[in-house]
C-alpha cells in the first residue's frame, strides 16, 4: 500500500503528523504500508518555521511541488500540473488530501483523473456560503472523494453515506501527543498562567474592515484592562493590527510562536479570542473560554458542547461576552466524542482495509 499525504499549508502538517506516526507504528508491526509526504509549496516557504517539524516529531516533506503563486486560480493550475508529474513517477494506491485549500482541490482532481483512491481528511466542514472560495473547494473535494473522514456526526456533507467515516478529530491526536512537551514561551516571563488573554487574527475580511476591527480591539483592551493580551501574528496581519492598538497598553503584539510554545500559551490563557476554527477546537479540549470573531463555525461541536462563543464581528456582543467570561460565567463544556487521540489509527485501518 503506497499512500500520498498531500499538504498545502502549515496547519495541514499538524493534522498529518499523527498519520505519519501511525504509519510508522504499523510498519514496525510488519504491515506493508508506505507513504510519501508531498507539500504544494516551496522548500523555503517562510510560513514553515524551522522548529515546526521537530516540534511535531515528524520528517520534512519528501516532495516539494514548488508552487509559490498567491492567486487562487494560478495555484490550482500549477498544483494540478506539478501533482500530475508526481503521480506519473510515484506509484500511488491512495491520495489523502487535507482541509479545503485550492491546492487540496487541485490534487483531488488530478488523483481522480488518474483513477486513484481519494480520501479527504477533515471532510464535511461547511459554511454554507457559496461566495467563499473554500466552500467551493469543500464541495468539489467531498464530491470526488471515495473516503470522507469526518470529526463528528453533525458534519455538513451530502455525499453518499457509505463513503462517510466518523473517525474523530485528528487535531486532538496531535494535541494529546504533545501536551507534556508544551514549552512556556519567554514572553510569559513575569506573568502568571491563567491571568492573560490571547488574540489571533488571520481572516482577510476581518482585517480588511479596519474601522470595525479598531472598535473590537478597543473593546478587548477595555474589558481585559487588568490583564495582558498577547497577539502573535504573522507580518501581513501584524502590519494591519499594529497601528490600531497604538496606545492600548495591555495589547502586546508579538512574533509568531512555535507550535509547542503557542500550544502552551493558549492552554494556560484565561480567555482566547480568535477567528480560527483550529484554535477554537483546541480551546474546547483545554477547557479555556473561547470567543470566535465570526458568525459561523465549521466545527459546531465547539459551540454546542465546548467553550466556544460566536460573536460575529459585533463590538457590543464581544464586550458583553468578555464581561460574562471575566465575571466568572463561562459555558459548561464537555469534550466531544472521539476526541480521544485515536483518529489517525482509525483512518489508517480504513485506508488499508
Residue with cell 484554535: 279
Give pLDDT, residue 134: 80
Give pLDDT, residue 214: 98
Give pLDDT, residue 155: 54
Residue 330 has pLDDT above 80, yes or no: no
Which of 52-61, 149-158, 232-241 is the least confident region?
A: 149-158
CA distance 81 to 75: 10
Which of 76-90, 202-216, 227-241, 293-307 is the least confident region?
A: 293-307
Give pLDDT, residue 158: 56
Residue 153 has pLDDT above 80, yes or no: no
Residue 154 has pLDDT above 70, yes or no: no
Residue 205 has pLDDT above 60, yes or no: yes
Residue 224 has pLDDT above 90, yes or no: yes
Give the pLDDT mean for 156-183.
Answer: 89
Give the pLDDT mean for 344-350.
Answer: 97
User: 258 near 311, Cβ under 8 Å?
Assistant: no
Residue 133 has pLDDT above 90, yes or no: no
Residue 201 has pLDDT above 70, yes or no: yes
The dihedral of CA 146, 152, 158, 162: what is its sign?
Answer: positive
Stated pTM of the model:
0.93
CA distance 75 to 45: 15
Which of 115-119, 160-164, 184-188, 198-202 is the least confident region?
A: 160-164
Give the pLDDT mean for 213-235.
Answer: 97
pLDDT tens digits, one per residue of 267-315:
999 999 999 999 999 999 999 999 999 998 888 899 999 999 999 999 9
Q: Which three cell numbers stand for residue 324?
A: 460574562
User: 21 near 47, Cβ under 8 Å?
Assistant: no
Give pLDDT, residue 348: 98
- As a whole number, the mean pLDDT across the chain is 94
- For the chain, state the CA radius of gyration: 20
Give the pLDDT mean for 61-68.
Answer: 97
Q: Which three cell numbers stand for residue 114?
A: 488518474
CA dihedral 311, 314, 315, 321 (to 10 degrees): -20
Q: Which residues are CB-neighbours of 47 under 8 A, at least 6 positions away? A: 9, 10, 41, 234
Give pLDDT, residue 159: 61
CA distance 335 to 330: 15
Q: Which position has the higher pLDDT, 353 or 307?
A: 307
Cα of first residue to Cα of last residue in the chain, in angstroms, is 10
Give pLDDT, residue 299: 84
Residue 157 has pLDDT above 60, yes or no: no
High-pLDDT (> 90) share of the chain, % = 87
High-pLDDT (> 70) share of the chain, % = 98
Give pLDDT, residue 144: 96
Residue 156 has pLDDT above 70, yes or no: no
Amino acid at each position: 500500500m503506497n499512500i500520498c499525504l498531500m499538504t498545502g499549508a502549515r496547519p495541514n502538517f499538524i493534522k498529518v503528523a499523527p498519520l505519519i506516526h501511525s504509519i510508522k507504528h504499523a510498519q514496525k508491526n510488519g504491515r506493508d504500508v508506505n507513504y510519501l509526504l508531498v507539500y504544494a509549496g516551496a522548500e523555503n516557504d517562510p510560513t514553515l518555521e524551522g522548529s515546526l517539524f521537530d516540534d511535531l516529531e515528524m520528517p520534512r516533506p519528501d516532495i516539494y511541488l514548488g508552487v509559490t503563486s498567491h492567486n487562487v486560480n494560478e495555484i490550482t493550475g500549477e498544483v494540478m500540473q506539478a501533482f500530475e508529474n508526481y503521480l506519473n513517477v510515484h506509484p500511488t494506491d491512495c491520495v489523502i488530501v487535507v482541509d479545503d485549500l485550492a491546492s487540496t482541490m487541485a490534487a483531488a482532481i488530478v488523483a481522480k483523473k488518474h483513477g486513484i483512491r481519494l480520501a479527504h481528511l477533515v471532510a464535511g466542514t461547511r459554511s454554507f456560503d457559496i461566495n467563499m472560495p473554500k466552500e467551493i473547494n469543500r464541495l468539489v473535494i467531498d464530491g470526488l472523494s471515495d473516503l470522507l473522514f469526518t470529526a463528528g456526526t453533525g458534519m455538513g456533507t451530502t455525499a453518499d453515506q457509505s463513503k462517510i467515516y466518523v473517525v474523530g478529530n485528528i487535531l486532538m491526536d496531535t494535541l494529546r501527543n504533545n501536551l507534556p512537551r508544551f514549552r512556556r514561551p519567554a514572553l510569559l516571563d513575569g506573568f502568571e498562567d491563567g491571568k492573560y488573554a490571547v488574540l489571533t487574527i488571520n481572516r482577510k475580511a476581518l482585517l480588511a474592515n479596519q474601522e470595525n476591527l479598531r472598535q473590537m480591539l478597543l473593546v478587548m483592551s477595555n474589558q481585559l484592562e487588568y490583564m495582558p493580551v498577547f497577539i502573535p501574528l504573522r507580518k501581513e496581519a501584524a502590519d494591519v493590527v499594529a497601528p490600531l492598538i497604538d496606545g492600548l497598553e495591555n495589547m502586546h503584539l508579538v512574533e509568531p510562536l512555535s507550535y509547542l510554545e503557542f500550544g502552551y500559551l493558549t492552554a494556560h490563557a484565561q480567555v482566547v479570542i480568535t477567528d480560527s476554527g483550529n484554535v477554537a477546537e483546541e480551546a474546547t479540549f483545554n477547557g479555556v473560554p473561547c470567543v470566535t470573531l465570526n458568525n459561523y463555525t465549521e466545527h459546531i461541536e465547539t459551540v454546542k458542547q465546548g467553550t466556544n462563543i460566536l460573536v460575529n464581528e459585533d463590538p457590543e456582543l464581544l464586550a458583553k461576552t468578555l464581561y460574562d467570561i471575566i465575571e466568572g460565567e463561562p459555558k459548561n463544556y464537555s469534550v466531544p466524542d472521539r476526541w480521544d487521540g485515536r483518529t489517525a489509527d482509525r483512518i489508517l485501518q480504513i485506508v488499508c482495509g
